[in-house]
């Protein structure tokens, strides 16, 4: 757990207040934010189904009644109105809808229209957009939030809040990152983003410790959770405890090394020299990673690393294992990859079929091995793991790739229940929504999957989707097939 239950309640209350303020702002300014209530008025009765979730495990077979976007009753022989849709759940499992905790909806134009449908096809009913230019993202969200739109719930951060030079600048990084020169600028940016309706902020790798501090402090004042890459000018054990989630396990290895302090000094010198030379952010970051990452992994001090991990017990780790360990688990070597690719338009499909040519298996070999070994270590320390893919980056087919992520997490040593939690309870907790999302229980949001088999027995069963309920609506129904 990363908050005490009391803090959690206060956090929740604060968030509701902040949402009301955001709504007032929207009414005044036309800025958009997620709808406060679900559009659904539909009633759905699922008969004789076995509910399962990561909180309660396998529950007694019973009926579940869904109305107005929520699970309103669970029990034996429930009654519904005559207009209700009745589904026979016999022999099937009712699981919470899945989340992908790391997506980029606006990263690649070719995916914009495709992504919401693909997410729902694969049972992803909520996503966390971990970085996008607001000018591009807000119009996309506007259509997803429209009252007649069938789409997953979207929680978004806006731009990658970076320092100097910006990694994802406008020249080669699609402008999804933005620089921050002063602590004042950092603070006012958090205020502006709050007003623009973001649900969290994302801090990136080039910020200085002072700017990181300003972002973290201001975000905590307005109760916005933070997702972050560990800034290159900091140690993971300094930055990690101040944020609610860390992405890709990035730069933890550098703090785990025997010579971590010397590496930090060298990084700061490389950053200063890069700024002096006006290096591009992307190039400077890669040269630092190239210089330090593999040697740090190979020079780990296990005792120091234990202390580093101990400092992260309250921070969710989103390893994006499928991305880090692409050498060990190439996306295109999975049997059903060609079939999943069929959902993409032809030009995109043809492009992605060339993935094996573009991939250099050696460049990420060490990082991949390290990531896979780190997952059971995190689990042994009760560090919470979240499931995210970085789709569409790194040949991650939206939706499909989340199931791959869960499989890889389990193959690396996570048990299926923790893997299911990583895509349900954990993201709900990140947003302090764990009293309303991520479980199959009365009063919870009706984002649900009807499955043919139990994923707590075999995580691959998250793919065996028979029906999808999103915001209380039956959006995919294969119960009669």
Which residues of this chain interact with Zn ion, rule CB under 5 A? 130, 390
| Cβ distance to Zn ion smaller for residue 64 or 161 | 161
| Cβ distance to Zn ion smaller for residue 96 or 159 | 159
Region of 88 please: left (phi>0), alpha (psi -120 to 50) or beta: beta
Encoding tokens for residue 298?
A: 């190979």
Strand 62-67 to strand 70-75: parallel, antiparallel, or no bridges (unpaired)? antiparallel
Alpha carbon 268 to its chain centroid, in Å, reads 29
| Cβ distance to Zn ion smaller for residue 131 or 163 | 131
CA distances to 106, 179, 202, 250, 393 from 253, in Å: 30, 25, 21, 8, 22
| Cβ distance to Zn ion smaller for residue 255 or 390 | 390
| Cβ distance to Zn ion smaller for residue 62 or 245 | 245
Smallest distance from the beta carbon of 104 to Zn ion, in angstroms?
6
Strand 160-161 to strand 177-178: parallel, antiparallel, or no bridges (unpaired)? parallel
Count each helix (H run) and each strand (E run) in the chain, helices first: 18, 18
Cβ 412 vs Cβ 328: under 8 Å = no
Helix orientation angle between 400-411 and 365-380, rounded to the nearest 10 degrees = 70
Region of 455 please: left (phi>0), alpha (psi -120 to 50) or beta: alpha
Strand 201-203 to strand 160-161: parallel, antiparallel, or no bridges (unpaired)? parallel
Place of tokens 């709808």: 35
Smallest distance from the beta carbon of 390 to Zn ion, in angstroms?
4
Phi/psi of residue 74, nearest 5 degrees: -135, 135
Phi/psi of residue 315, nearest 5 degrees: -115, 125
Q: Which DSSP string corresponds to 416-444? A: HHHHHHHTTHHHHHHTT-TTTSSS-STTS
| Cβ distance to Zn ion smaller for residue 89 or 386 | 386
| Cβ distance to Zn ion smaller for residue 106 or 461 | 106
| Cβ distance to Zn ion smaller for residue 51 or 399 | 399
Cβ 24 vs Cβ 67: under 8 Å = no
Alpha helices for 328-399 (secondary structure H): 337-341, 346-352, 355-358, 365-380
- The residues, ordered by sequence, that sit 6+ positions from 72 with a Cβ below 8 Å of its Cβ are 65, 66, 442, 443
Q: Which DSSP string corresponds to 144-185? A: HHSTT----EEEE--SEE--SS-TT-TTTSTT-EE---SHHH
| Cβ distance to Zn ion smaller for residue 12 or 392 | 392
| Cβ distance to Zn ion smaller for residue 63 or 390 | 390
Encoding tokens for residue 154?
A: 């979207």
Smallest distance from the beta carbon of 103 to Zn ion, in angstroms?
8
Smallest distance from the beta carbon of 192 to Zn ion, in angstroms?
22
């Amino acid at each position: 757990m990363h908050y005490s239950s009391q803090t959690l309640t206060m956090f929740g209350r604060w968030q509701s207040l902040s949402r009301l303020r955001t709504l007032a702002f929207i009414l005044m300014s036309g800025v958009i934010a997620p709808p406060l209530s679900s559009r659904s008025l539909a009633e759905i009765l699922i008969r004789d189904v076995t509910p399962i979730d990561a909180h309660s495990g396998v529950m007694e077979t019973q009926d579940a009644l869904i109305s107005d976007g929520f699970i309103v009753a669970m029990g034996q022989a429930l009654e519904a109105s005559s207009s209700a849709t009745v589904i026979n759940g016999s022999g099937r499992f009712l699981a919470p809808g899945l989340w992908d905790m790391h997506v980029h909806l606006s990263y690649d134009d070719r995916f914009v229209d495709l992504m919401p449908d693909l997410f729902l096809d694969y049972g992803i009913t909520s996503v966390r957009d971990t970085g996008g230019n607001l000018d591009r993202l807000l119009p996309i969200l506007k259509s997803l939030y429209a009252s007649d739109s069938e789409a997953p719930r979207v929680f978004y951060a806006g731009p990658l809040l970076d320092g100097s030079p910006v990694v994802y600048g406008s020249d080669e990084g699609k402008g999804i990152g933005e620089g921050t020169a002063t602590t004042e600028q950092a603070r006012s940016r958090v205020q502006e983003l709050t007003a623009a309706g973001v649900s969290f902020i994302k801090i990136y790798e080039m910020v200085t410790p002072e700017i990181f501090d300003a972002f973290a402090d201001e975000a905590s004042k307005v109760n916005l959770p933070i997702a972050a890459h560990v800034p290159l000018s900091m140690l993971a054990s300094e930055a990690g405890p101040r944020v609610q989630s860390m992405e890709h396990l990035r730069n933890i290895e550098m703090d785990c090394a025997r010579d971590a302090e010397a590496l930090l000094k060298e990084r700061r010198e490389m950053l200063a020299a890069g700024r002096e030379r006006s290096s591009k952010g992307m190039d400077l970051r890669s040269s630092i990673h190239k210089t330090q990452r593999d040697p740090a992994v190979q020079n780990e001090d296990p005792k120091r690393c234990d202390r580093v991990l101990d400092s992260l017990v309250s921070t969710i780790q989103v390893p994006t294992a499928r991305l880090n360990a692409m050498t060990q688990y190439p996306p295109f070597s999975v049997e059903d990859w060609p079939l999943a690719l069929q959902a993409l338009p032809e030009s995109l499909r043809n492009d992605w079929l060339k993935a094996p040519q573009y991939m250099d298996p050696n460049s990420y070999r060490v990082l991949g091995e390290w990531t896979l070994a780190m997952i059971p270590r995190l689990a042994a320390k009760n560090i919470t793991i979240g499931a995210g893919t970085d789709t569409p980056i790194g040949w991650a087919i939206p939706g499909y790739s989340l199931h791959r992520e869960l499989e890889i997490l389990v193959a690396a040593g996570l048990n299926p229940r923790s893997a299911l939690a990583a895509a349900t309870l954990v993201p709900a907790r990140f947003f302090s929504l764990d009293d309303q999302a991520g479980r199959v229980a009365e009063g919870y949001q009706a984002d649900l999957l009807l499955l043919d088999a139990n994923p707590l027995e075999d995580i691959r069963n998250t793919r065996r989707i028979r029906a999808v309920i999103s915001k209380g609506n039956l959006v995919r129904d294969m119960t009669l097939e």
